[in-house]
Amino acid sequence: MSYHIKQYNKGDIIFHGGDRSDCAYIIESGQVEIFVESTGAIIDILSEGELFGEMGVLDQSPRSTSAKAITALTLLEVRTAQITNRLAESDPIVKALVGVLLKRFRSMLPSSNTSNNLLLDQVASVIEQAGLSKFKLESELRTAINQGDVQTVFQPIHDIQDDRIAGFEALSRWSHPTRGFISPVEFIALAEETDLIIEVGDLVFSRAIELLARLPDHVFININVSSKQLDDDQFLNRVLQKIKSHGISPNRLKLEITETMVVDFNLARKWLKKCQDIGFPVCADDFGTGHSGMEQLVELCFDVLKVDQVFIRNMNKSKRHQTILQTIAMMAKQLQTQLVAEGVEVAEQLKTLKDLGFDYGQGYLFGKPMLEADVLQLQF
């Protein structure tokens, strides 16, 4: 579903007191009057960038006031789930504060229709301006996904021992129509807070599978997955069906999970088994940066370890980094786990990694993320 922009003329009623609270609104342009219809008392006048209608959405009560366009007006709808899902997942103290404010607001409104500005300010302080920007960006991201404006690019993964391209990592990129390039850290994190990550994942997997069907059989593609994707019983089934329809072996798709996802080893073990039973190899991404790296090796049977670039960047500068890399390489060999070095940028690093027995390297030395058309021009 795309985000909804609503246009109103001066004097139009946006909602009446007693109406069902099915969404809130962010004012894109114009002004809104919040008033009590029975008495005509004006509660507040709101302008561009402000949020209204959130009170009923939060506690699912009918509208307690009415809203009217003072000028020509453009509103962005904020759906109920966008607010209530975040409230449900928020800190218990925040939820308690919001609940208290709601009760106080509801009890005060009938007896004082003209002096609620302070209370409205208190509610607004809970739903800060940063939150409004996040709502807008979420809505715009949903539209970008639906319209195919979120790109998928592919960064080469090099076979260090055989000196050839072995595969790629699929990465998402989004160029916002007004803000320009949005960092993947920002919009992927936003998608992971919502069900949008499922839609992003479907898009990336579909494109990766279509590309694999046009590449040699030895080439694989790595794709990051989130806990929401792995918890969705239908997600892996959809991926498997797409693979089967293109006649591709599951081992050509390697699923990457980060350390933050494996705090609960029982849950992570279930995810790994689910993926590996289908035939998807599983990679531990950014290995070595967290506190439980060694414990992961004991508790979880990863097929691949992707060693974080901080070790690669410093391995020829620090004896300690060299020792750690040597230890990781030795353990991986004993555990029959493949190794990928992230952030390889110079030939000196490549030589050291080859001597250590690393299987693959990824970084600017081998290529930057590229479009599908550029991938198809490569020699394999």
Q: What is the pLDDT of residue 178?
A: 85
pTM beyond 0.85 = no
Q: What is the pLDDT of residue 265?
A: 83
Q: What is the pLDDT of residue 300?
A: 87
Q: What is the pLDDT of residue 236?
A: 87
Q: What is the pLDDT of residue 95?
A: 64
Q: Sheet containing 66-69: give its strands across.
A: 13-15, 66-69, 32-35, 42-46
Residue environment code for 222-238, b if the CB has 16+ CB neighbours within 10 A, otherwise e = bbbbbbbbbebeebbee
Interstrand relation of 42-46 and 32-35 (parallel, antiparallel or unpaired): antiparallel
Q: What is the pLDDT of residue 184?
A: 87
Taking Cα atoms as reference points, which of 369, 373, 341 lies closest to residue 168? 369
Domains plus CATH for the chain?
5-128 (2.60.120.10), 148-375 (3.20.20.450)
The low-confidence residues of the chain, meaning pLDDT below 70, are 1-3, 59, 88, 90-132, 290-293
Q: What is the pLDDT of residue 116?
A: 42
| 82: helix, strand or coil | helix
Taking Cα atoms as reference points, which of 128, 137, 131, 130 lies closest to residue 182? 137
Quick one: angle between helices 184-193 and 196-212, nearest 10? Answer: 120
